[in-house]
Amino acid sequence: MTKPRASSGAKPRASAETKPRASAETKPRASADTKPRASAETKPPSIGGPILRRRGVLLTREDVPPPRNSHADVTSVFNPGAIHWRGHDRLLLRVQGRSRETYLYPATASEPGHFEVASQPIWIRGLREAARSLEIYHVYDPRLTAIDGHVYAVLAVDTNRGCRLLTAQTEDFENWSLVALDGDGDRRNGVLFPTKIRGEYLRLERPNQEQADGQPRSGSEVVLASSSDLLSWKQVSPVFQGRPHYWDELVGAGPPPIRTDQGWLLFYHGVATHFVGAHIYQAGAVLLDLEDPSRVLGRTRENILEPREVYEMVGQVPNVVFPSGAIVRGDEVDVYYGAADTCVAWATGSIERVLSTLEDPSALSTGSDRR
Ligand code: BMA
């Protein structure tokens, strides 16, 4: 894998040769002992082998030109939305600078795995006007969905009155306009289904609940919301819950659901909270009924990707694998994720293989009887 290039910025950038790539495939495994060690990622696929195979770090802060108002390089790039649109793979990146303000940068692939980052962040037309008296701190964690020939991003918006969701739309990834900013509620991890179902737009979202010990508000239930116009939403049904004591105590939808013959395949993130302040973010999957996506048909008992590589374990927030984008090529799915809230990484898997690991949800312990 060669280094993805940023499209602009006069600053010299680390070259493919000098940039450290902590990928399971390419990382030199220096060791004093000469004993060959089988890595989970390099073993041929087998029962119990990796469901998602790491492809390594895709983008680091060095790939992102600083925004115009900044005097310094950027700090981190993570949690990307992803979509294949008009012949190219595209990302919308969450970027933070040293002010800890958040920027959204588009990136376009010249070929899978080689992204050029735009020279400047996007601006969502109409957002300032829609915010009115609401104070907006951050707009982040985009999920990208194409519906009827338009690209939509659903984003979280941190405000002085909780976390809202907004929907924005683009044709070209440069010009973005606001579709709607939710008027109330406190929720995150909003993702749109790529088709209307029974005449309605559908969105998965994760209501935020009070957290103990001064922790940020988070949640342990993904719910289904519907809308006739993408402007106003009503929650129609719970979909699935976190499982106390296990890998996915808190949950949130990842990339938009992927249509398969067997149902909607949804990657999600699960958070193990067993040590307060030392959360572990991992990826898993559920399968939802095609006609009634509030029905869960299957769920992974175990996570299918967890922080193991240094770039997932060490960074701005340690131990984070946060899947937020997916691009499907036949049976293969590329999953794009934020690693340690610091860089963008990716992993690839067979959809059939993921489906084959799903278990009957009623056979999985909910953990609720033990809390
Ligand atoms: C979640 C969100 C994500 C972030 C993750 C790990 O609550 O804020 O954006 O990646 O925490 O810090």
Cα 216 to averaged position of ligand 1 atoms, centre (Å): 10
| 296 CA distance to ligand 1 middle (Å) | 25
138 Cβ neighbours under 8 A, 6+ residues apart: 101, 102, 156, 157, 158
Which residue's CA is the closest to the ligand 1 atom numbered 9?
A: 141
Residue 150's SS3 state is strand
| Cα-based distances in Å from 133 to 126, 285, 361 | 14, 39, 44
pLDDT at 186: 92
Query: Residue 247: what pLDDT?
Result: 96
Please name the amino acid found at residue 315: G
Nearest-angstrom CA–CA distance, 341 and 219 = 19
Token reading at 367 = 């953990």
Say yes or no: CB of residue 147 within 6 Å of ligand 1: no
**β-pair partners for 321:** 339
Do the beta carbons of residue 205 and residue 189 sit within 8 Å? yes
Compute the distance from residue 46 Cα to the ligand 1 centre, in Å: 32
Among residues 289, 261, 257, the alpha carbon closest in space to that of 193 is found at 257
Q: How far is the CA of 188 from the centre of ligand 1 (A)?
A: 10
d(CA 81, CA 176): 14
- Stretch 238-247: mean pLDDT: 95
Locate the ligand 1 atom nearest the alpha carbon of residue 218 and give its number: 7
Banded model confidence at residue 16, pLDDT cuts 50, 70, 90: very low
Q: What is the pLDDT of residue 306?
A: 97
Ligand 1 neighbour 341 (Cβ under 6 A): yes
β-pairing, 124-125 vs 176-181, is parallel
CA dist 211 and 4 (Å) reads 39
Residue located nearest, by CA, to atom 8 of ligand 1 = 141
Please give the average per-residue pLDDT across 315-321, as a whole number.
97
Distance CA 6, CA 227 (A): 38
| Interval 270-304: pLDDT, tens | 999 977 678 999 999 999 999 999 999 999 999 99
User: Do the Cβ atoms of 223 and 206 come closer than 8 Å?
Assistant: yes
For residues 256-272, give the mean pLDDT.
98
Query: What proportion of the chain, given as a percentage, has pLDDT over 90?
Result: 78
CA-to-CA distance for 358 and 301, rounded, in angstroms? 7
d(CA 84, CA 337) in angstroms, rounded, equals 16
Query: pLDDT value at position 366?
Result: 83
Our mutation pick for probing the ligand 1 site, out of 95, 137, 322, counting the most ligand atoms within 8 A of Cβ, is 322
What integer is the mean pLDDT of 125-144? 96
Ligand 1 pocket mutation, candidates 75, 77, 79, 211, criterion most atoms within 8 A of CB: 79
Cβ contacts of 36 within 8 Å, gap of 6 or more: none
Reported in sequence order, the residue ranges of 136-253 that DSSP labels E, i.e. its strands, are 136-147, 150-159, 162-170, 176-181, 187-192, 201-207, 221-227, 234-241, 250-253
Residue 90 CA to residue 134 CA, distance in Å, equals: 31
CA–CA gap between residue 345 and residue 91 (Å, rounded): 12
Does any ligand 1 atom lie closer than 6 A to the CB of residue 334? Answer: no
pLDDT at position 334 over 70:
yes
Give the distance (Å) from ligand 1 centre to CA of residue 59.
18
Yes or no: say if 168 and 231 are a contact pair by the CB < 8 Å rule: no
Beta strands 321-329 and 114-117: pairing type? Answer: unpaired
Per mean pLDDT, which range of 26-35, 270-279, 283-292, 338-347 is the poorest?
26-35
Residue nearest to atom 4 of ligand 1 (CA): 341
Region 131-158: mean pLDDT is 97
pLDDT at 218: 73
Q: Whose CA is nearest to atom 7 of ligand 1?
A: 218
Measuring CA to CA, how many Å separate 177 from each of 97, 173, 223, 230, 361? 23, 10, 26, 13, 39
121 lines ligand 1 (CB under 6 A): no
User: Mean pLDDT in the chain?
Assistant: 87
Ligand 1 center to residue 87 CA distance, Å?
30
Q: How far is the CA of 76 from the centre of ligand 1 (A)?
A: 13
**Mean pLDDT across 144-170:** 97
| Predicted confidence (pLDDT) at residue 3 exceeds the cutoff of 60 | no
More confident residue, 15 or 212: 212
Cα distance between residue 255 and residue 264, in whole Å: 12
What are 74-119's pLDDT values in tens digits?
A: 999 999 999 999 999 999 999 999 999 999 999 999 887 899 999 9
Tens-place pLDDT, residues 184-217: 889 999 999 999 999 999 999 999 886 656 666 6
**Nearest 5°: CA angle at 168, between 166 and 174?**
140
pLDDT category of residue 21 using cuts at 50, 70 and 90: very low
State residue 297's pLDDT score. 98
Identify the pLDDT of residue 211. 61
- Mutation to probe ligand 1, out of 154, 281, 282, 313 (largest number of atoms < 8 A from CB): 281
